Amino acid sequence: MVKADGGRLRAARERQLLTLRALAAKSGVQFHTIHAIETGKQEPRPSTLRKLCDALGIEPTEVLAAEIAAAER
């Protein structure tokens, strides 16, 4: 599991005007899983984070928790 910032993931999804269901269809990740990640109830597996980011056209570092993203710089 990786520490993702669900709010950043949600913001990226909303910038593209995608609903949770649309992102689920585009990424192949179940709707309830995306919702749980966005609300902080679940941390994504690296493969799940990659699928979501690929579907959104963003890098995983854009949604990693701030402390992890800062450490990678």
For residue 64, the SS3 value is: strand
Whole-angstrom distance, CA of residue 24 vs CA of residue 30: 5
**So what's the architecture of 6-72 in CATH?**
Orthogonal Bundle (1.10)
Q: What is the pLDDT of residues 7-63, one digit of tens each?
A: 999 999 999 999 999 999 999 999 999 999 999 999 999 999 999 999 999 999 998
List Cα–Cα distances, 54 to 51, 67, 68, 71, in angstroms: 5, 22, 20, 22
**How many other C-beta atoms can be found within 10 angstroms of the C-beta atom of residue 39?**
11
Of 51, 17, 52, nearest in space to 38 by CA: 52
pTM of the model: 0.85
The model's confidence at residue 4, banded by pLDDT at 50, 70 and 90, is confident
